[in-house]
């Protein structure tokens, strides 16, 4: 129930901000603003130059959102739980809309069963289905989709945009990160030194990968360097 700023060496900077409820995911809106998902609410937090975190406002939402990422500077993509609309969009002002060209799996996910991300330059929406061992990739302009299943994808969890507008997905039961193209082609798999990787993100300059896990009693946050060869 805390939000904290870490250095590149994973040292705490400033004082952690204590939330009133458990947080689910976080996205960076600008150099001094972040947004955190909690149960049926988005919390907007400011970060000062000396790493003081303050709550600036909050928005009630119609569904409970888990993962969150930017689609545009003013609109975010969020995965839902207990809602047939598996992924939705919401503006920084709280206006919720749906993807019109996307046909999602005809089922509702409970909390912890799916997450999403969005590749802006490719108009590609990514949805993970943990229990079906499947990663769905949707072209939100053309309305086409692809369901990716292979032996490397076992209980997929968090996903993020990788180098060169690719997709990186945590494969929980393989203790690895799977690397895909936006067309769903398999590129590679990278073992991580942790059990049950859960959340993942890549730095804006594409040089660092952060991964955290969900193993009870053995939670970790690890930072990896992305070598230039991965960009080719």
pLDDT of residue 231: 45
Last residue of a domain, one of 43, 60, 77: 60
| Residue 227: pLDDT over 70 | yes
Q: For the chain, what is the mean pLDDT? A: 94
- Looking at the structure, do residues 16 and 122 belong to the same domain, yes or no? no
| Secondary structure in 3-state letters for the chain | CEEEEECCCCCEEEEEEECCCCCCEEEEEECCEEEEEECCEEEEEEECCCCCEEEEEEEECCCEEEEEEEEECCEEEEEEECCCCCEEEEECCCCEEECCCCCCCCCCCCCCCEEEEEEHHHCEEEEEECCCCEEEEEECCCCCEEEECCCCCCCEEEEEEECCCEEEEEEHHHCEEEEECCCCCEEEEEECCCCCEEEEEECCCCCEEEEEECCCCCCCEEEEECCHHHHC
Last residue of a domain, one of 16, 40, 60: 60
- Looking at the structure, do residues 184 and 84 belong to the same domain, yes or no? yes
**Residue range of the domain that includes 9:** 1-60
- Looking at the structure, do residues 66 and 42 belong to the same domain, yes or no? no
Mean pLDDT of 9-26: 94
Per-residue pLDDT tens over the stretch 79-101 = 999 999 999 999 999 999 999 98
pTM beyond 0.85: yes
- Looking at the structure, do residues 52 and 89 belong to the same domain, yes or no? no
Domain count, the chain: 2
- Looking at the structure, do residues 98 and 138 belong to the same domain, yes or no? yes
Per-residue pLDDT tens over the stretch 154-187 = 999 999 999 999 999 999 999 999 999 999 999 9
Last residue of a domain, one of 15, 44, 60: 60
pLDDT of residue 111: 86
pLDDT of residue 228: 66
pLDDT of residue 141: 95
Per-residue pLDDT tens over the stretch 107-159 = 999 988 999 999 999 999 999 999 999 999 999 999 999 999 999 999 999 99
């Amino acid at each position: 129930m805390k939000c904290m700023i870490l250095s590149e060496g994973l040292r705490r900077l400033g004082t952690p901000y204590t939330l009133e409820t458990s947080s689910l995911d976080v996205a960076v809106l600008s150099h001094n603003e972040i947004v955190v998902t909690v149960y049926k609410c988005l919390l907007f937090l400011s970060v000062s130059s000396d790493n003081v975190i303050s709550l600036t406002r909050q928005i009630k939402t119609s569904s409970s959102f888990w993962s969150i990422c930017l689609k545009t500077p003013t609109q975010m993509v969020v995965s839902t739980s207990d809602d047939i609309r598996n992924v939705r969009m919401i503006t920084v002002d709280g206006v919720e809309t749906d993807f019109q060209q996307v046909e999602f799996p005809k089922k509702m996910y409970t909390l912890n069963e799916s997450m999403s991300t969005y590749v802006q330059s490719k108009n590609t929406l990514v949805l993970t289905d943990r229990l079906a061992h499947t990663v769905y990739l949707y072209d939100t302009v053309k309305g086409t989709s692809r369901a990716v299943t292979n032996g490397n994808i076992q209980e997929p969890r968090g996903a993020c945009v990788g180098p060169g507008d690719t997709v990186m997905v945590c494969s929980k039961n393989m203790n690895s990160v799977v690397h895909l193209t936006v067309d769903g082609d398999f590129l590679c798999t990278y073992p991580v030194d942790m059990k049950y990787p859960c959340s993942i993100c890549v730095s804006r300059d594409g040089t660092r990968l952060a991964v955290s896990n969900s193993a009870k009693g053995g939670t970790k946050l690890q930072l990896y360097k992305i070598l230039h060869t991965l960009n080719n």
